[in-house]
Structure 1
């Protein structure tokens, strides 16, 4: 039995099936995302969603969906599903679904009378092409398959509506057609691997609704253009492959391409394999550059997320070459940033004050998980440049004070991972001495100090180690309070006493200014007030302003974003801290905690972990359907556990 399998009872109950989503990507920025019943519920959903750099740096929905109709003896059975006004679903094709599973690729079995049709979808790696294979498993008489494409040709952040400007022109190509609704877009090629008939029957399907957008307080309806439909005869036991892409496919090789691509997929037959499969989806190779996307369906490559996620997404699953490839692109971005040089790399938010420190932490994981010698050889100079840049106060918003601590101004602009803003101002104006920035700083001073000492650069090593001693003492004096936990940030006489998860890094990092008793005190407070089955809360329920439910319109969600919601990636550092304190006796506890994340494999975006969760029961998943840091940190925890169990 497949690990990710849903039976007829669940699939035909829209209350159960519509919240479950699937995501497939091509590792170059394009994706396919929808619900497991193929009913789009977000404006970001689509069969073929691709970057169109000639227009902007957003993704664009070209092919929204493809409705299948089985025709036998003149009777038509439409397998599609769309939501229209008044909670009307049409044509209600989900009632024909017998089973859905997603071990290698999303696979749906339909039963229509004596007909059993199997549908499998995959995205071709590094190509803007979706392939769908239809296999007629059972049939007692002549069967025709009709495919009706719904086109959007619009940004994921907009909608399309019926208009006279949309081009209805199309041209025939080998076993299909090509068409383009608007100038500036690439042509969409829709082809099958065998002869078929295209019936030109242009129409607009009006008033299609996206309930997830309505939930989030946005506009939620659009019209989609249908140019006509393809008809192809299909025999029992035969497979027909549909291709939707931005270049013409060789129709004779479509079957072979599908089979070869299937072989490359990581089977999602257990928890860890699901996460590995999800990890691959965040990789984004553009020409010679490699990036990590922060999440799907709307995130780009954010520098902080990339450095935090990279070890878990690559090193923890023994994919060292991928780490090195992404880090090579990141190295160029760091070099250009610290030398104030322009670049055209697609890495955003490099200027945030904690980003270079997370880059050091990221490289530190390479030293631990691959080789310290190799780390010195590949990244030693980069580490020295980063530390000198910070030590000499060249960063526009990081100031090294005489007490050895780093000071950053966060009153006007959100500068840490807690980055929600309302009306242009941070919801949480973390400013001054920020706890995780200085934990990262102390860790970086110690790590790089030791590493450069091994290369014989004793002057720099001594300078960094002396500074680390000063920083460590000031850290304790500044952040450790009489209740045994760490203040979140301190700016002169202003101290934030809120119990927040940012203190956990000080316990998790290899180098910490805290002694064993102090570490345990911090861990105890985090366990008692912040731990949930889905991650660490961003604020304790006992602290003022606790707002655990990420629901409602944008502003309401922005106020809740870091005020009590739970974040799985933080649990990765929590579990690492727990292992540091309790060693072997921590294993059972952590394994039990991981059950909360394994449950997510069949919820929300199946096989992955969403961006965040409500901080109160039932801890409902919210935000982006698949989030890189969350997947990465759970994979890194599984790696840490494997080292203990080895």
Structure 2
């Protein structure tokens, strides 16, 4: 494995479906496959097509191009030895070659939402989950290309075992095969594979005991059996192209014959989507007569990276954000934190508005969902900060767009959150009448972003009054003051009511600002992380203090803020983000690894979180406006372009040097925060 390039690539289609794999073409994860389709967007992600094993025969000699890990520890075939190059842009592209031949393979996953409307809403949506594969051959004479699809039908979190009673039916007609898995009490998803040329021979063979080393490393099951329904044989001439399409659903008998043009159009459509946002950005700089930044190539890649997380959720008929690939779904807190980078920086204001509308519609008991519902299920409201982030991001949206009609529409949600927090809501969330700070107290849950719970015990419980929660509360009160005063000017019939609201917000904000001084720890020159329910302060040095300094409205004294940032720079800052805990703390865990329990215990105990580089930049620029940033973007840029998942940013990194990338290989808020500040 040491000789294999196991850096990863990712394609998505705007529905939550994705394709992923490695540069060497060896599958190392359960989540690697060429068609992992969201059957109820963005949920029910199901692996249908794992990959296609290819052999090329030239002049009577056969080369096997595949590379697989097997349960007995072997690697076979050794196709990676013939791999000459790989490129990620514009689509994943592999080139294998020998003395007299060269075979290029490319994959593209076309955008899957076929109809859309304003503000991200969609009327009568049509979904299309498919992957296109293109082979191009060059050589001295014709070659025989033989392709074997390896398939499954299983939840993307699990492995498939070739158990008795699991069957795959196939129907071959007109250069396509329709496939469907079934067992005694279950019928799988129908899908089909079609091709532009060649002869298909049904066979039906199980390939047993694939091994996925990354899953083994993570302490999970790493064995899988895949089914090969048959093989396609093509005599391919020099310069010729072969196209295949894997698509969910029954085939269309009237579909046109596959051609290279269809593949090219899919690639072009992908580039045009990103090109539209690039055009908006160029107009922005032209309008303000500012010079264009000289990082256009990287910015273009960042736009593509950000777009991969935007998806459509069928159960709410609106947009959402996948928190990370390959294993996360959409989460409220993550979506809101990522929204400024993904939607405001790129001026995708309809997207931002649609996301805010959706969250506002699902506000309940003053809380915003942390997990969106699938059809027929209820949202999870296990977050104290999602509602506060909603207000913060609403403020940023309004500042960017001046869309004051939207404020009128959403102000009732602001009031709902405010009243619930002041009067008390679930998890014993309530403003403390003595100091105006926001507190919560519930055993067995974790309501902040440090949310790991193992066997009913939070690893970082943070009950009481967390620093960033109260900084968000202060900023929310300041926003509410501004909005109530604006509405008082615009709504003369309710002027007195709005003025009274503004006065109350102002008084509460002033009280909170005074009470925030309780968080100062003179011994460390840093803010306490929490004030516990029994009033004991927690002196652990965590990045939440930096979060508190990064919000639009900041209630902390300048000199103390500058001192906090100096401590954060010296104790928490790395080239990839902020550590979640000071390395000198006895609870610090410097490496994130092992089985699920060990990884969860390390998750917020020193692990570097790349998204936190954004709050650090904002806080540093506020309190050290004339000083350069105390880190170099170069290592993070190198990671984005050349490490882990090419063209994306990992969720987390080890706290200890060399800060190896860990966790999800592509994380929305990580990419979004870099987008938000790339030109800084």
Structure 1 residue 121 and structure 2 residue 123: aligned? no
Superposition pairs of residues 361-376 of structure 1, within 5 angstroms:
361-371=392-402, 373=404, 376=407
Give the whole-Å Cα distance in 2 for the aligned partners of 1:449 and 1:184.
Answer: 57
1:567 is displaced (CA, Å) by 0.5
Give the whole-Å Cα distance in 2 for the aligned partners of 1:336 and 1:67.
Answer: 53
Partner-residue secondary structure (3-state), 1:317: coil
Superposition pairs of residues 11-90 of structure 1, within 5 angstroms:
14-15=1-2, 17-53=4-40, 57-90=43-76
In the other structure, the counterpart of 1:553 is 595
1:497 to 539, 552, 556: 539
Give the whole-Å Cα distance in 1 for the aligned partners of 2:421 and 2:23.
Answer: 48
Note if contact 2:365-2:425 (Cα within 8 Å) is conserved in structure 1. no
Which stretch shows the higher mean deviation, 365-374 or 58-67? 365-374
1:20 is displaced (CA, Å) by 0.2
Partner-residue secondary structure (3-state), 2:235: strand
Note if contact 1:354-1:437 (Cα within 8 Å) is conserved in structure 2. yes
Which stretch shows the higher mean deviation, 237-246 or 56-65? 56-65
For residues 152-191 of structure 1, what are the alpha-carbon distances to aligned partners after superposition, in whole Å with 9 as ceiling and x for unaligned?
Answer: 2111222212223222421013311011122432212011
Note if contact 1:52-1:185 (Cα within 8 Å) is conserved in structure 2. no
For residues 378-418 of structure 1, what are the alpha-carbon distances to aligned partners after superposition, in whole Å with 9 as ceiling and x for unaligned?
Answer: 54443333323323324544111111111112541111111
In the other structure, the counterpart of 1:488 is 529
Give the whole-Å Cα distance in 1 for the aligned partners of 2:248 and 2:98.
Answer: 33
Superposition pairs of residues 148-167 of structure 1, within 5 angstroms:
148-167=148-167
2:553 to 511, 514, 520: 511
In the other structure, the counterpart of 1:261 is 266
Note if contact 2:389-2:472 (Cα within 8 Å) is conserved in structure 1. yes
Partner-residue secondary structure (3-state), 1:240: strand
Note if contact 2:360-2:368 (Cα within 8 Å) is conserved in structure 1. no
Size of the aligned set, in residue pairs, is 621
Superposition TM-score, scaled by structure 2 size: 0.87
Superposition TM-score, scaled by structure 1 size: 0.91
In the other structure, the counterpart of 2:171 is 171
For residues 566-616 of structure 1, what are the alpha-carbon distances to aligned partners after superposition, in whole Å with 9 as ceiling and x for unaligned?
Answer: 0011110001001101224335x45x2354344332111111011100001
Give the whole-Å Cα distance in 2 for the aligned partners of 1:31 and 1:147.
Answer: 22
Gaps of 5+ in 1: 1-13, 642-646
For residues 365-388 of structure 1, what are the alpha-carbon distances to aligned partners after superposition, in whole Å with 9 as ceiling and x for unaligned?
Answer: 212333364653554443333323
Superposition pairs of residues 205-354 of structure 1, within 5 angstroms:
205-247=207-249, 248=251, 250-266=255-271, 270-287=297-314, 288-334=317-363, 349-354=380-385
Closer, same or farther: CA 347–74 of 1 in aligned 2, 3 Å:
farther
Structure 1 residue 616 and structure 2 residue 656: aligned? yes
For residues 528-566 of structure 1, what are the alpha-carbon distances to aligned partners after superposition, in whole Å with 9 as ceiling and x for unaligned?
Answer: 110011100000011121101001111111111111010
1:271 is displaced (CA, Å) by 2.7
1:465 to 506, 509, 522: 506
Say what the alpha-carbon RMSD is for the aligned residues: 2.4
Partner-residue secondary structure (3-state), 2:561: helix
Closer, same or farther: CA 98–192 of 1 in aligned 2, 3 Å:
same
Closer, same or farther: CA 338–575 of 1 in aligned 2, 3 Å:
closer
1:51 is displaced (CA, Å) by 2.4
Closer, same or farther: CA 344–458 of 1 in aligned 2, 3 Å:
farther
1:632 is displaced (CA, Å) by 0.8
2:665 to 598, 602, 625: 625
Superposition pairs of residues 511-530 of structure 1, within 5 angstroms:
511-530=553-572
Give the whole-Å Cα distance in 2 for the aligned partners of 1:474 and 1:583.
Answer: 26
Give the whole-Å Cα distance in 1 for the aligned partners of 2:363 and 2:304.
Answer: 29
1:437 is displaced (CA, Å) by 0.7
Partner-residue secondary structure (3-state), 1:69: strand
Give the whole-Å Cα distance in 2 for the aligned partners of 1:352 and 1:388.
Answer: 17
Which stretch shows the higher mean deviation, 280-289 or 304-313? 280-289
Give the whole-Å Cα distance in 2 for the aligned partners of 1:211 and 1:233.
Answer: 35
Note if contact 2:365-2:417 (Cα within 8 Å) is conserved in structure 1. no
Note if contact 2:58-2:101 (Cα within 8 Å) is conserved in structure 1. no
Partner-residue secondary structure (3-state), 2:470: helix
1:75 is displaced (CA, Å) by 3.0
Give the whole-Å Cα distance in 1 for the aligned partners of 2:637 and 2:410.
Answer: 34
For residues 321-373 of structure 1, what are the alpha-carbon distances to aligned partners after superposition, in whole Å with 9 as ceiling and x for unaligned?
Answer: 22222223222222697699x97568954341111001111112212333364
In the other structure, the counterpart of 2:195 is 192
Note if contact 1:160-1:222 (Cα within 8 Å) is conserved in structure 2. yes
